[in-house]
């Protein structure tokens, strides 16, 4: 498997299972409806575990442009490969969101809450405050990228045995830091599905909230770069 295909498939698995658990919890008439935040955080952790384990050997399982940028800034990944990884991650995220929509299509149509529909694709703030929302996303992404850097040593990419600690790391971020913004901590995970929300047909569909779309991108990049700086000081 090529690194491009590995990142595409890995990010697809991540979003399919991650957004899938959100859809299960927030959409009407789903058997998991109202299962709560713990279910969502655990589901995303398991999603990352499966995705990393599946493709670590082929691509290093970045699955996140902030991870690719952070590793490159820390000298652990080639800058020339960052655009290719980011494109693969975006395509994988879009494909994952598409399959979630296909799987839960009837439940999207049964859900009149436009915010719940959007939440099954991408993140949004509990309290809308651009500066604070960027800070929250930057902090969460810093913890994720710095944690990955500390777990992955001395190699330059994740190995399959690193899947569990990385998954627990995301689970912890969701439980501890996820409340204000929904812990995107991944620009592709948010932007790719947001694009799909804008494209796909749904009853009662509202705005894709493009006014918020830049927040996970800016916060994620800042968090990844700060993680690289701190890592370089050790």
- Report the CATH number at residue 101: 1.20.1080.10
Q: What tokens does 27 get?
A: 């959409």
Rounded CA separation 217/104 (Å)? 27
Alpha helices in the chain (DSSP H): 3-26, 37-59, 65-73, 82-103, 105-110, 114-119, 130-151, 163-177, 187-199, 214-233
Domain ranges, residue 217: 3-233
The pLDDT tens digits for 182-225 are 999 999 999 999 999 999 999 999 999 999 999 999 999 999 99
Burial 67-76, CB ≥16 within 10 A → b, else e: bbbbbbbbeb
What does pTM read for this prediction? Answer: 0.96
The pLDDT tens digits for 29-65 are 999 999 999 999 999 999 999 999 999 989 999 999 9
CB 94 within 8 A of CB 195: yes
The pLDDT tens digits for 74-131 are 999 999 999 999 999 999 999 999 999 999 999 999 999 999 999 999 999 999 999 9
CB 74 within 8 A of CB 64: no
Rounded CA separation 108/139 (Å)? 32
Measured between its terminal Cα atoms, the distance across the chain in Å is 34
**Phi, psi dihedral angles at 212 (to 5 degrees):** -100, -15
State the total domains in the chain: 1
């Amino acid at each position: 498997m090529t690194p491009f295909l590995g990142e595409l498939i890995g990010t697809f698995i991540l979003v399919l299972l991650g957004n899938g658990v959100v859809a299960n919890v927030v959409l009407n008439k789903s058997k998991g409806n109202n299962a709560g935040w713990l279910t969502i955080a655990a589901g995303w952790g398991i999603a990352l575990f499966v995705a990393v384990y599946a493709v670590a050997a082929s691509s290093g399982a970045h699955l996140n442009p902030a991870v690719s940028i952070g590793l490159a800034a820390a000298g652990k990944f080639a800058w020339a490969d960052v655009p290719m990884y980011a494109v693969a991650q975006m395509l994988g995220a879009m494909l994952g969101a598409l399959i979630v929509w296909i799987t839960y299509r009837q439940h999207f149509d049964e859900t009149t809450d436009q915010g719940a529909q959007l939440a099954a694709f991408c993140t949004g703030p509990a309290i809308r405050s651009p500066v604070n929302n960027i800070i929250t996303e930057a902090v969460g992404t810093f913890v994720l990228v710095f944690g990955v850097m500390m777990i992955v040593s001395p190699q330059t990419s994740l190995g399959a045995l690193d899947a569990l600690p990385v998954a627990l790391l995301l689970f912890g971020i969701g439980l501890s830091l996820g409340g204000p913004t929904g812990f995107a901590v991944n620009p592709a995970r948010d932007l790719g599905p947001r694009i799909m929300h804008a494209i796909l047909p749904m009853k009662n569909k509202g705005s894709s909230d493009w006014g918020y779309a830049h927040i996970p991108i800016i916060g994620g990049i800042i968090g990844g770069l700060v993680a690289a700086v701190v890592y370089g000081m050790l």
